[in-house]
A and B are shown apart, each in its own frame.
Chain A
Amino acid sequence: MNRALYLAPLGLLLLLLAGFSLGLDRDPKDLPSALIGQPLPAFELSALEPGGKPLASASLAADGEPKLINIFASWCTSCRVEHGKLVQLAGEGVPIYGIDWKDEPAAGRRYLAERSNPFRAVGSDPNGRAGVDLGVTGTPETFLIDGKGIVRMRHTGPIDDQVWQEKLAPMLAQLRAEAEA
């Protein structure tokens, strides 16, 4: 029995090192959303364009179509990086809705006017309350919700080709298959 006890430190060390080397691949700042598997939280945001239809969670959840909800802001530099990709995806028929988070509505409108608008509808969340309900930690963030309005995935950070192909596109395809079934 005693001999085994003396081997314990070495055993524990090897376990620890294995854990660390696996941990090297992880990003400790990549937080999973607390909303995965839950319905989209209720919110109703006034449209970014004055006079437009409000962006309501109820209508987003009710139309049976899996979609993307993108959180952005005019002051966010990474958002500019991903904007081109969003426009391309919108052109391919991917439904994307936008929330202008903690931003002056006028600045948000200017931001979209200077580039193309990839969003089917855009809501304005100047004080960030909808963001808190969604658990937003920064911009850009993108949520995928399924046909029934359940949050299925959240991506933090800009969307580039690799992120789209490896992470978001497969999920969207799966959600669409579910919606058709």
Chain B
Amino acid sequence: MGAEIGHFALILALLLAIAQAGFGAMGHRRLDPALMAAANVAAIAQAGFVVLAFGLLMQAFAVHDFSVALVASHSHSQQPFAYRLAATWGNHEGSMLLWALILSGFSAMVAAGGSAMRPGFHSLVVAVLGLLAIAFIAFVLFTSNPFARLFPAPLEGSELNPLLQDPGLVLHPPLLYVGYVGFSVAFAFATAALIEGRVDAAWARWVRPWILAAWVALTLGITLGSHWAYYELGWGGWWFWDPVENAALLPWLLGTALLHSALVLEKRGALISWTILLAILTFSMSMVGTFLVRSGVLTSVHAFAVDPERGFFILLLIAISTGSALALFAWRAPGMRSGAMFAPISRESALTLNNLFLMAATLVVFLGTFWPLVIDLATGNKISVGPPYYNRIFAPMMIPFLVLLPFGPMLRWKSDDWRAVAAHLKWPMLLAILVLLAAAAATFATFGWRGLGAALGFSLTAWLVAGSAAVLVRRWRGNDGFSLRLVRSTPLSTYGMVAGHAGIGIMVAGITAMAVFATSQVAALGPGESSSVGGRTVKLERAEMVQGPNYQALRAHFLIEDGGRIRPLLSERRLYPASGTTTTEPGIASGLGGITYVAIGDETNGKLAVHMWRHPLVGWIWGGALIVSLGGALALADRRFRAGLPALPRAAVPA
């Protein structure tokens, strides 16, 4: 019964989305408050029904109702409860419903929270969100119905892929989707602005919290995905340049550019076309990403589904939504040029350069992902593009970008003198050079040129962290020396920026250390025997068979000796009888300096194959990314963007 109600709720949601779009458009046209209010109500009601539908699907998973086809193919009576719930989105249909849920949720929030906006504009944004909702709910209803029943209902389900039975599944997809779908709000804002033919600083102020929220979620989602792959897949990689990973990176890069471009728009009214274009393209990249994962166009470890028919529907969706938006762009944007001018050395210029670099990075990732398809269509040849390509192109491109980064926040708007800026950054520069020399001296003997590469990486870290801190120091010092008042009056968004940029620096350290100093070792060990990797001793104590809730495992007990300190470590190979698949659960011993990673392999002649890695500073990659997300959250929490500027008391302003 629940599935049918859920199905019906989705149909109602579709009808309400149509109402939302219709009322919103008409309300904008006629500036009629009643119509506009009706659109808002429709948006909220639509979200309510999608929530109901999603809740009912999740409930079917919770009680393992195997008469629902989706539950039968992705759940099992022995499957732990958390993974029964998370399995709701561990498949194509459910994850599309999750997409629709988040879209409706955002559109309801925009509908309810638009009091600061110009009513006509707000109504138009709600209408565009309604159109997007129609598209995605229709996609779910007509091609990917999660509520299909199975007659007769099987007594037992085929379980969720054991690789997915992990805490990562609980958080990673929802976070990612909040990110992907959250950018639809910026898309709607941009489209509405193009329809009206008008973009101004107020527009940038209204859209900024929505961009930030989506961006923070996407950053967290990608970070979590990377960490999950690291500890789940058994060989300790944290990024594979897999097409689906790239599909998440592309909107992230564009979203970062959008975030910064909107700053210029807000402060100076410049970079209008660029910001609008980025707002359209970021969400379009999200949709292209969804297309990739589900259509079978590219092979990937992640591919959800291989269904060209659904792929075609998504292409149609992209054609209509992005196509219309870009057509509007071609028509309206030439007439929306601002007169704001800025000097070659200014914050606007720096942020323009920022846009340029991020879009170039996006192009690199995009080309690497899709060039094989282009070549296949053009010549029939099959080439493949893997990590060696990205490492050779992406890294060199990012280095000048990161060197220039700390200058941006130090520059004044409109026009500045580069010597003054350099003076503010002289201590960070000095520190960076010191680190470069020290690291080079320490590593060149053993590592040669790769050591120099590592030295460059670490000096970039010092440069980014110190350069960001310098922003705070400059602000706190003011003109008359250090002042507590200035510390207290520093807006949260400044701390956000500092955290964001410093976090990148910390990530660079982790990436550098992993690229240059990671070591591995393979050995066949019997009980009591040991091997070593990266200066740590790994001793196999014993191996035993254990029983889990829905799996059996070979569990090996290790002792890791790390400079005198001894820690126990468990490493498992699990067999899930329901599906017959095996997974590796590597043992991870982590510390501030890095991780010792141990995975077990085959057993021959009483000896267990043990694969060991030493990953220095790998945790700094995710730690740094978390700090970056924190930065975004701090900026989001800044009251100034919600309360508006304070009113000036009349007496303070002399006549």
**Is there any pair of Cβ atoms, one from A and one from B, under 8 angstroms apart in the complex?**
yes
- Mark A residues whose CB is within 8 Å of B: 2-3, 6-7, 9-10, 13-14, 16-17, 19-29, 31-32
**Which of A10, A21, A23 makes the CB contact (< 8 A) with B327?**
A10
**A32 to B375 CA separation, bound complex (whole angstroms):** 13
Contact B315 A28 (CB under 8 A): no
Contact B334 A23 (CB under 8 A): no
When distances are taken between beta carbons in the complex, the residues of chain A under 8 Å from B315 are 17, 20-21, 24
Known contacts A17-B315, A19-B373; is-contact A10 B299 (Cβ 8 Å): no
Contact B334 A3 (CB under 8 A): yes
Known contacts A13-B284, A28-B299, A32-B381; 13 additional CB pairs below 8 A are A9-B330, A13-B319, A13-B323, A14-B323, A20-B295, A20-B315, A23-B373, A23-B377, A24-B296, A24-B297, A26-B376, A31-B382, A32-B382
B194 shortest CB reach to chain A, Å:
11
Contact A32 B380 (CB under 8 A): yes
Contact A19 B374 (CB under 8 A): yes
**Which of A2, A7, A17, A24 makes the CB contact (< 8 A) with B318?**
A17
Answer whether residue B308 sits at the interface, using C-beta atoms and an 8 A cutoff: yes
When distances are taken between beta carbons in the complex, the residues of chain B under 8 Å from A32 are 380-382
Interface residues of B in 443-477 (CB under 8 A from A): none
- Mark B residues whose CB is within 8 Å of A: 273, 277, 280-281, 284, 291, 295-299, 308, 311-312, 315, 318-319, 322-323, 326-327, 329-330, 333-334, 370, 372-374, 376-377, 380-382
Can you list 11 A-B pairs, Cβ within 8 angstroms, ordered by A? A6-B329, A9-B277, A9-B281, A14-B319, A16-B370, A23-B297, A24-B297, A24-B311, A28-B297, A28-B298, A28-B373
When distances are taken between beta carbons in the complex, the residues of chain B under 8 Å from A22 are 377
**A27 to B306 CA separation, bound complex (whole angstroms):** 10
Contact B323 A2 (CB under 8 A): no
Contact B326 A25 (CB under 8 A): no
Q: Is the interface of B mostly helix, strand, loop or mixed?
A: helix
B261 shortest CB reach to chain A, Å:
15
When distances are taken between beta carbons in the complex, the residues of chain B under 8 Å from A13 are 284, 318-319, 322-323, 326
Contact A6 B322 (CB under 8 A): no
With both beta carbons as reference points, the residue of chain A lying nearest to B306 in the complex is identified as: A27
Contact A10 B323 (CB under 8 A): yes
A20 shortest CB reach to chain B, Å:
6
Interface-centre pick from B322, B372, B380 (highest chain A CB count, 10 A): B322
Known contacts A6-B333, A14-B323, A28-B296; is-contact A23 B273 (Cβ 8 Å): no
Known contacts A17-B318, A24-B295; is-contact A10 B312 (Cβ 8 Å): no
**A74 to B303 CA separation, bound complex (whole angstroms):** 30
When distances are taken between beta carbons in the complex, the residues of chain B under 8 Å from A23 are 297, 373, 376-377
A28 shortest CB reach to chain B, Å:
5
**A28 to B312 CA separation, bound complex (whole angstroms):** 16
**A27 to B308 CA separation, bound complex (whole angstroms):** 10
When distances are taken between beta carbons in the complex, the residues of chain B under 8 Å from A6 are 273, 329-330, 333-334
Contact A21 B323 (CB under 8 A): no
**A22 to B381 CA separation, bound complex (whole angstroms):** 15
Contact A20 B323 (CB under 8 A): no
**A10 to B281 CA separation, bound complex (whole angstroms):** 11
**A20 to B315 CA separation, bound complex (whole angstroms):** 8
| List of 7 A-B pairs having minimum Cβ-Cβ separation, nearest first | A10-B326, A24-B308, A7-B330, A23-B297, A6-B330, A9-B326, A28-B299
With both beta carbons as reference points, the residue of chain B lying nearest to A24 in the complex is identified as: B308
B330 shortest CB reach to chain A, Å:
4
**A10 to B326 CA separation, bound complex (whole angstroms):** 5
Contact B329 A10 (CB under 8 A): yes
B412 shortest CB reach to chain A, Å:
29
A4 shortest CB reach to chain B, Å:
9
**A22 to B295 CA separation, bound complex (whole angstroms):** 12
Contact B381 A10 (CB under 8 A): no
B376 shortest CB reach to chain A, Å:
6
With both beta carbons as reference points, the residue of chain A lying nearest to B303 in the complex is identified as: A28
When distances are taken between beta carbons in the complex, the residues of chain B under 8 Å from A26 are 297, 373, 376-377
When distances are taken between beta carbons in the complex, the residues of chain A under 8 Å from B382 are 28, 31-32
Contact B333 A20 (CB under 8 A): no
**A25 to B376 CA separation, bound complex (whole angstroms):** 12
When distances are taken between beta carbons in the complex, the residues of chain A under 8 Å from B296 are 24, 27-28
Contact A24 B323 (CB under 8 A): no
When distances are taken between beta carbons in the complex, the residues of chain A under 8 Å from B372 are 28
When distances are taken between beta carbons in the complex, the residues of chain A under 8 Å from B295 are 20, 24
Interface-centre pick from A10, A17, A23, A27 (highest chain B CB count, 10 A): A23
**A181 to B221 CA separation, bound complex (whole angstroms):** 64
**A27 to B319 CA separation, bound complex (whole angstroms):** 23
With both beta carbons as reference points, the residue of chain A lying nearest to B309 in the complex is identified as: A24
Contact A19 B326 (CB under 8 A): no
**A23 to B298 CA separation, bound complex (whole angstroms):** 9
Contact B333 A25 (CB under 8 A): no
A87 shortest CB reach to chain B, Å:
31
Contact A20 B297 (CB under 8 A): yes
